[in-house]
Amino acid sequence: MPGSRILRTVLVAVADPLLREAIRGALTEAGFGIDEARSGISALAAALGHHPDLALVEAALPDIDGFAVTARLRGRGFSPPIVLVAAPEAAGRALAAGATGVLPLPLPQDASAVAAGVDAFFAQPAPAQGAAEGTAPARNTAAPRETDRFRSEFMQAVSHELATPLTPIAGYLKILRSEKLGPLNERQTKVVDAMVQSTERLARVLDNLVDFANLETGRTLLRHGPVEPRAVAEACIAEMRAAARNRRVGLELYDESGGRALVGDEAKLKQALGNLVDNAVKFSPSGGQVLVELRPAGDGLEISVYDQGAGIPADETEKVFEPFFHASRVGEADRAPGAGLGLPVVRSIAQAHGGWARVESPPRRQPDLAGHFYPGSRFTMLLPWEAPSGS
């Protein structure tokens, strides 16, 4: 009965005007309330701002596709059903992104059949906030393991497609910066440097995509060898120096490790610490300070990154290590969230080394270094000096 559905609102995020009109007509006739969006960005705003009972999202949105919209909504805690309007073969990618299911294209000619298809999703249990982590909704018959495989393959495919054009771009930029093709003036040098920073940041995002998928499924083998923590920290700080300077954020290293090396995968540890430093710089206020501290602790080494940002709410300090989650930071409403994989990768890499990763906000202890106070957050990795047996 239409009257039984009038209080249920469906967000119809569809760019194709004919498809949008067909869905709107079918759902309106069936008694659903309708909210509309015509792009991925407007879909995110409408879903988070208007709180519909169900989001119907076209996979082929023009700016941010429906898969990315779904992942971002789940990362922001959006729990109502999300149904992608897509070809049937996209069901795997939809599940991997956290969707409840797929309304397959082409739509039935019968409007009542369209409404019934949407109505069926209301009967399913809402996915948990970490639905994008691989928990399949009840309507889907794929087992969690199969969903994990879909997600892993999706991330690897996306990263490959992005890495293919990124590699020559990064290479040509390095050639330009080396001035092998001719000298650059000061303004041209600044432009090239900014482009290099952007490509390096994108490369880090792609590495996180691949490593998150591989580390979670246990398919990444660590290449153990002697690692000098100070050298890793200095390299991470050097890579972030330009971005920190642009934000007027200071970077400092405090090393109490005594020069002792540990056994681990240097590339992975550099990636993990790079994610922590990047995160600290991103959420530091202009004029703030970020500190990387190396400090022995028992049979291992604590690598901590302190910042002077707004901090993280107490009920979210554990959630920040969940995939696609974005913490609610005071004063950060206008800052675009990242991919939501940097911190999960940090934890996965630390655990793969036999250690752990945690956050304190505010820090329960301040570093033994005079001159600065860090009221924001302290992200810490504890890494054993020796590689765990069997790794």
Mean pLDDT of 104-108: 89
Q: Indicate whether 128 and 192 sit together in one domain.
A: no
- Rounded percentage of the chain residues whose pLDDT exceeds 70: 80
Q: Indicate whether 149 and 124 sit together in one domain.
A: no
Q: Indicate whether 193 and 247 sit together in one domain.
A: no
Selection from 86, 77, 170, 92 nearest residue 130 by Cα: 77
Dihedral in degrees, nearest 10, Cα atoms 317, 323, 327, 332: 150
Burial class of residue 330 in the structure, from the number of CB atoms within 10 Å of its CB (0-12 exposed, 13-18 middle, 19+ buried): exposed
Residue 273's pLDDT is: 96
Give the highest mean pLDDT range of 73-77, 175-179, 262-266: 262-266
Q: Write out pLDDT tens, residues 200-250.
A: 878 777 777 777 666 655 556 678 999 999 999 999 999 899 889 988 999
The residue ranges of DSSP E strands in the chain, in sequence order, are 9-13, 33-37, 54-58, 82-86, 101-104, 225-227, 250-255, 262-264, 289-297, 300-306, 356-360, 378-384
Residue 333's pLDDT is: 43
Q: Is 170 helix (H, G, I), strand (E, B) or coil?
A: helix
Residue 133's pLDDT is: 36
Which residue's structure tokens are 């059949």?
113
Q: Indicate whether 362 and 258 sit together in one domain.
A: yes
Q: Indicate whether 26 and 129 sit together in one domain.
A: yes
**Res 389 pLDDT > 80:** no
Tokens of 320: 């920040």
Q: Is 300 helix (H, G, I), strand (E, B) or coil?
A: strand
Q: How many domains does the chain have?
A: 3
Q: Indicate whether 253 and 372 sit together in one domain.
A: yes
Q: Indicate whether 237 and 374 sit together in one domain.
A: yes
Q: Indicate whether 245 and 199 sit together in one domain.
A: no
- The CATH number of the domain holding residue 238 is 3.30.565.10
Q: Indicate whether 125 and 174 sit together in one domain.
A: no
**Res 318 pLDDT > 80:** yes
Mean pLDDT of 263-267: 92
Q: Indicate whether 73 and 187 sit together in one domain.
A: no
Residue 215's pLDDT is: 61
- Residue 159 belongs to domain spanning: 145-217
Contact 101, 9 (CB under 8 A): no
- Rounded percentage of the chain residues whose pLDDT exceeds 90: 39
Q: Indicate whether 24 and 126 sit together in one domain.
A: yes
Mean pLDDT of 29-47: 89
